[in-house]
Amino acid sequence: MPSTIPMPPIKLRTIVGPTDPVFYDNPGGDFIYPSVPAHLYESVFDFGCGCGRVARQLMLQRESPRRYLGIDANREMVEWCQHNLTPLNPAFHFEHHDVFSKTCAPENSPNRTLPICAPDGAFSLIIAHSIFTHLLQDQTEFYLRELRRLLRPDGMIRSTWFFFYRQDFPVLADHQNTLFVNENDPAQAVYYDHGYFLRAAASTGLRPTHFIPPQVKNFQWEVFLVGISSPGR
């Protein structure tokens, strides 16, 4: 039976990337990430919620989160979620994050980073899908610290990254850790040296538990992280 939850309009799905409704659906009602323990879906922070791709899938789970907060730099997408998803499940909240993005939010303030308005340790699961692939190094370091702050002691972060290996690029200086594909908007796709990523995560009190390689060569890796001081980890 078709879901009664509205599908985001094609205009907004085009900004996010995949437009096929299958990427926004969850017809079986399963937990959307098999690698994430079921109890961690209790409270979810969606860093870069877009037009509700992940939110919609979570709403269709047989056990949807008791609390969900999604933020995004694109005001139009946030407002669509506020008007079309929150009325169906008041546990789902969406907020505009007023930082500049040349591609996705050129009308925003010039802020490169902003603190996330949520209390420490508030979320058991943090999702950062296709976000660090669009942030520059100083932004990545800032938001890794913010996500660590928001993470519950037993919580988990599910993130995606583009990686390269420094030894394959001998022209890089020691302080250079990123590669770009677009000279007009470097944040269109940002590749991080894998070794740098490990050091940056550790410096913020995070460590990866496992990596899932991309199905397409050099595309996004799934990386799951927990707090270094997490009990039993």
Instruction: DSSP for 40-57, please give it.
Output: GGSEEEEET-TTTHHHHH
In a domain, 2, yes or no: no
Residue 164's domain comprises 10-227
Distance CA 24, CA 54 (A): 7
CA angle 201, 203, 204 (to 5 degrees): 70
Instruction: Kindly state the tokens that stand for 229.
Output: 């001081």
Is 1 within a domain?
no
Assigned domain for 22 exists: yes
191 found inside a domain = yes
Say which amino acid occupies 65: P
For residue 100, tell me if it sits in a domain.
yes
Closest CA to 65 of 89, 49, 81, 87: 89
Tally: H helices and E strands in the chain: 5, 9
139 within 8 A of 112, measured Cβ to Cβ: yes
Strand partners, 148: none
Number of domains the chain is built from: 1
Q: Is residue 158 part of a domain?
A: yes
Q: Is the pTM of this model over 0.75?
A: yes
Q: Is residue 233 part of a domain?
A: no
What's the CATH code of the domain at 213? 3.40.50.150
- Mean pLDDT (10-residue bins), the chain, 233 residues: 83 92 94 96 98 97 97 97 98 97 92 96 97 97 98 97 96 95 91 98 96 94 89 45
Q: Do the domain assignments include residue 81?
A: yes
